[in-house]
Amino acid sequence: MRRMDPRHSTVDLEELHTRVAQRVKGLRPRTERPHLLEIIEGPGKGTRFRLEQPSYDLGRGSQASLVLDSDEVSRLHAKLTRIDGEYTMEDAGSRNGILLNGIRVHAAVLRDGDELQLGDVLLRYSEGV
Amino acid sequence: MSGELFVRFWGVRGSIPTPGPRTRRYGGNTSCVEVRAGKTLLVFDAGTGLRELGVHLGRRNEAPLTVHLFLSHPHWDHIQGFPFFGPAYDSSTTIYVYGPKGDDKHYQLLSGQMSNAYFPVRFSDLGAKIVPRSFKGHAVEAGDAQVHLFSQKHPGGSLGFRVEYAKKSVVFSTDNELDQLLKDKKAAAARPDELRAFPSELLEPIRDADLLIADAQYTDEEYDAKVGWGHPRSNTVVDFAGQAGVKRLALTHHDPMHSDREIDVLVSEGELRARRLGYEELEVFGAREGVTLKI
């Protein structure tokens, strides 16, 4: 029997439980609920981004998967990554940084109602829309 | 990354874990803070937030891993996560557990909580190399960082720590009843809106820190019934940080009875107080699980 690496035990067990649930109970892994980022102030006000992918790049450049059309936003400003159904926003080396509810942060696991300022673009995050 | 200093909050709750919708935003895990000084990993306190840090480190697959672990004191909410810290089960991990010179009490109590009356896995059966280390006087080199310790006011005693790295500084100071250390306790009680002054020697360990992470468990009103329990009024902490020239103040060790909304109010009062007392440059905010700061 394969010896489980203890550092991965929690993750491995969760995956094992999912597999057991599929096989025994006929259950499927629960559907990931989409979350939402909405521009509430600044350029693009009213734009809504429905979040369903495991990761996104935010920036003003055309390479960004979520484009924020402002000179105060860096070409690649921040990354959004989904882990266990929760999105984390992380500064990608931007010029103006990220403010989470007015506090400068490097990264944060987002919570319902959080306001994020990237340059002059203010976004609101909503969970499970 | 070399020359960069990051702080991540994994547990910001005091006394006991408080999961649930009322605490979801700030978080319900007890005391644990990760500090990355270049490639050096320092961990302050081993409350229940440590379990989540262990899961995170497992995902990053950083092996072999060296952890420099500093415990403010061995009360439950500061050690309870250790038996669930995944890397402690991995033979490629080394964990240094720091204590004052000539005193391995923290190491002993950390291992003591894993006697088989309390927990099914014995400390001696953990795969990691777990080594007690002592401060040399009041400082120690931990990887690339220098850490200074200082004594605090708490039943049974507690330690505060100041991390210095690349000309930046972070202070971790939890379970410290600052209100018992004021120059004039009666004046603070009679005129709570006035500055609560501290003896200058108490300000030295936090002087000009880029970030102070400080226990701020009680409101002024709550404190009257909790004198001697080992935790300060949050307003007193604001005054403490302001007098020492601290740049950013993260209020932590949130009371288990405080909801997210109540912590918001407490933080807001702290911000207003800092402005009113003339500490315009002091940024006050609530420590929140899952938030990383770059210092």
Structure ipTM: 0.95
Extract the tokens encoding A26: 């006929």
Would the CB atoms of A88 and B290 count as touching at under 8 Å?
yes
Reported as a single tens digit per residue, the pLDDT across B103-127 is: 888 888 888 999 989 999 999 999 9
Q: What is the mean pLDDT of residues B178-184?
A: 96
List chain A residues with CB under 8 Å of B283. Answer: 103
pLDDT value of residue B25: 97
**Could you say which of B58, B127, B292 has the minimum Cβ distance to residue A105?**
B292
Question: Between residues B110 and B37, which one has the greater pLDDT?
Answer: B37
Would the CB atoms of A9 and B293 count as touching at under 8 Å?
no
pTM, whole model, 2 decimals? 0.92
Would the CB atoms of A103 and B24 count as touching at under 8 Å?
no
| Residue from B17, B71, B80, B13 nearest B50 by CA | B80
List chain B residues with CB under 8 Å of A9. Answer: 86, 89
**Could you say which of A83, A104, A111 has the minimum Cβ distance to residue B24?**
A111
Within a 13 Å sphere around the CA of B227, how many CA atoms are in the beta-carbon half? 8
Q: What is the mean pLDDT of residues B139-145?
A: 96
Chain A residue with minimum CA distance to B286: A103
User: Is the pLDDT assigned to residue B194 strictly greater than 90?
Assistant: yes
pLDDT value of residue B61: 87
Chain B positions touching chain A (beta carbons under 8 Å) = 6, 8, 24-25, 54-55, 57-59, 61, 63, 86-87, 89-90, 127, 283, 285, 288-294
Percentage of residues in chain B with pLDDT exceeding 70? 100
Cα B8 to its chain centre, rounded Å, is 11
Would the CB atoms of A108 and B55 count as touching at under 8 Å?
no
User: Is the pLDDT assigned to residue A4 strictly greater than 80?
Assistant: no
Model confidence at B63, in pLDDT bands (50, 70, 90)? confident
Between the alpha carbon of residue B238 and those of residues A116, B64, B135, B244, B278, the distances in Å are 25, 40, 29, 10, 12
pLDDT value of residue B101: 77
Contacts of B9 (CB under 8 A, 6+ apart): B27, B32, B33, B49, B250, B252, B287, B288, B289, B290, B291, B292
Reported as a single tens digit per residue, the pLDDT across B244-255 is: 999 999 999 999
Name residue, tokens 């702290």. Answer: B270
List chain B residues with CB under 8 Å of A95. Answer: none
Model confidence at A1, in pLDDT bands (50, 70, 90)? very low
Percentage of residues in chain A with pLDDT exceeding 90? 69
**Could you say which of A7, A91, A106 has the minimum Cβ distance to residue B57?**
A7
